[in-house]
């Protein structure tokens, strides 16, 4: 994220966390996942026999070049500042921003779960279990929408990179939390990104139509489009737009670069991908309707996060609203 405000905050680097926090060497921690230039590790904390909740530690990948490490450290510093200002049960919590023994800065966060929603999608796809149950998708939808409502309405922030890898899940969907706020953008009172010095980054398959050109107006509805595609991921066990033209009868449905139709892929970006309705019974009706309206190409036709929360809270049974 390149902004004059961001640059100012980066120049005034946040002080490391408490000296009592010691970040173990990367090889001694379990690797939970990775992103662009960063790895995320599980840091267990049980000193003197006490039981303490573990933390997740985001650290710059040491294999990056020196120039890349500087860029990613700056982004991590900005993410720490944003995350520190947030507090919501459906957003991964801030714990510390501290220096590791090798001198690199580490963002220490609440441990939201060992697996991302993307991990669970891939596992379910590999086991050929078919779409997630509609009730599970609805629960994820409500949790995500609550987190987005807080970001948009309370904090005036666009997450800017909603997708299954940025949702962490605890246990059997006991808790669902949004993570990775490193490319968030400020929203004005109209929930629009009006600062001309910032730009939407996102991840290509999940980008809405308005984010595919330099002159598109970015609002809170950009997150809603990506949110809709995340529900689609749970119904199809696929990455949006990457399986264009593939046969559903194939034994091996893995992505084949040689068969990838690049022209069709770029033409499909920002549009609503199709569903295989043969795999979805009547229990999916509300989920399908929610996915459809959230992925409207016209941002004005998409609901707000607050509207999604209101509808789901009014329609779902108590056990899914908890």
| Domain CATH code at residue 308 | 1.10.510.10
- At residue 39, the pLDDT reads 80
Tokens linked to 162: 């909603």
Q: Is 161 a catalytic residue?
A: yes
Residue 280 lies in a domain: yes
Residues of the chain with pLDDT > 70, as a percent, come to 84
- Do residues 244 and 252 lie in contact, with contact meaning Cβ atoms separated by under 8 Å? no
Contacts of 208 (CB under 8 A, 6+ apart): 221, 222, 225, 226, 270, 297, 299
Task: Determine which of 48-62, 148-162, 307-321 has the lowest per-residue pLDDT on average.
Answer: 48-62
pLDDT at site 24: 65
- pLDDT at res. 100: 77
Domain assignment present for residue 13? The answer is: no
Radius of gyration of the chain (CA): 20
User: Do 156 and 48 reside in the same domain of the chain?
Assistant: no
Domain final residue, candidates 53, 82, 110: 110
Question: Which of 3-12, 20-29, 252-261, 295-304 has the lowest average pLDDT?
Answer: 3-12
Q: Tell which wins on pLDDT, 321 or 132.
A: 132
pLDDT at 216: 93
Mean local confidence (pLDDT), 63-68: 76
7 within a domain of the structure (yes/no): no
Query: What pLDDT does 120 receive?
Result: 96
Average pLDDT of the segment spanning 232-238: 97
Looking up residue 88, the CATH number of its domain turns out to be 3.30.200.20
- Model confidence pLDDT, tens digit, residues 192-210: 999 999 999 999 999 999 9
User: Largest alpha-carbon pair distance within the chain?
Assistant: 59
Q: What is the pLDDT of residues 90-139, one digit of tens each?
A: 999 999 898 877 777 889 998 877 789 999 999 999 999 999 999 999 99
Q: Are residues 179 and 300 in the same domain?
A: yes
Say yes or no: 139 and 281 in one domain: yes
Dist CA 288 CA 304 (whole Å): 17
Select the highest-mean-pLDDT range: 18-22, 37-41, 105-109, 277-281. 277-281
Determine the pLDDT at residue 6.
40
Which of residues 308 and 260 earns the better pLDDT score? 308
Say whether both 228 and 174 belong to one domain.
Answer: yes
Tokens of 101: 């023994």
Choose the weakest-confidence range: 29-33, 97-101, 162-166, 240-244. Answer: 29-33
User: For residues 34-64, b (16+ Cβ closer than 10 Å) or e, as one string?
Assistant: ebebbbbbebeeeeeeeeeeebbbbbbbeeb
Contact 108, 55 (CB under 8 A): yes
Report how many domains make up the chain: 2
Q: Report the alpha-carbon distance of residue 96 to residue 109 in Å, rounded.
A: 7
Catalytic-labelled residue, pool 102, 119, 154, 161: 161
Q: Strand 157-158 and strand 185-186: pairing?
A: antiparallel
**How far from 221 is each of 85, 202, 207, 227, CA to CA, in Å?**
22, 13, 11, 9
The reply to whether 96 and 203 lie within a common domain is no
Region 61-69: mean pLDDT is: 76
Helix (H, G, I), strand (E, B) or coil at 34: strand
Same domain, 173 and 103: no
Q: Which residue, 165, 197, 152, is CA-closest to 4?
A: 197
Residue 9's pLDDT is what?
40
Query: What is the C-alpha separation between 76 and 72, in angstroms, rounded?
Result: 6
């Amino acid at each position: 994220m390149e902004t004059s405000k961001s640059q100012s905050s980066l120049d005034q680097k946040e002080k490391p966390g408490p000296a009592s926090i010691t970040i173990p060497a990367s090889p001694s921690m379990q690797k939970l996942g990775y992103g662009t230039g960063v790895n995320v590790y599980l840091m267990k904390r049980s000193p003197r026999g006490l039981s303490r909740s573990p933390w997740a530690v985001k650290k710059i990948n040491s294999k990056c070049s020196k120039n890349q490490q500087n860029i990613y450290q700056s982004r991590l510093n900005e993410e720490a500042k944003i995350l520190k200002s947030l507090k919501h049960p459906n957003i991964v919590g801030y714990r510390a921003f501290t220096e590791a023994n090798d001198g690199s800065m580490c963002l220490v966060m609440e441990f939201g779960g060992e697996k991302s929603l993307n991990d669970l999608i891939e596992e379910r796809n590999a086991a050929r279990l078919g779409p997630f149950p509609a009730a599970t998708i609805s629960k994820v939808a409500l949790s995500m929408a609550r987190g987005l409502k807080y970001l948009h309405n309370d904090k005036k922030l666009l997450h800017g990179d909603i997708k299954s890898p940025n949702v962490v899940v605890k246990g059997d969907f006991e808790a669902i939390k949004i993570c990775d706020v490193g490319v968030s953008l400020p929203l004005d009172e109209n929930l629009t990104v009006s600062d001309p010095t910032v730009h939407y980054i996102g991840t290509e398959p999940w980008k809405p139509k308005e984010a595919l050109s330099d002159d598109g107006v970015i609002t809170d509805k950009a997150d809603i489009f990506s949110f809709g595609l995340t529900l689609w991921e749970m119904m199809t066990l696929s990455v949006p737009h990457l399986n264009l033209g593939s046969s559903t009868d194939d034994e091996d449905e893995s992505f084949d670069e040689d068969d990838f139709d690049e022209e069709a892929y770029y033409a499909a970006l920002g549009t609503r991908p199709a569903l295989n309705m043969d795999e979805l019974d009547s229990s999916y009706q509300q989920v399908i309707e929610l996915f459809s309206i959230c992925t409207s190409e016209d941002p004005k036709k998409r609901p707000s996060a607050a509207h999604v929360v209101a509808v789901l809270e009014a329609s779902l049974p108590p056990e899914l609203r908890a």
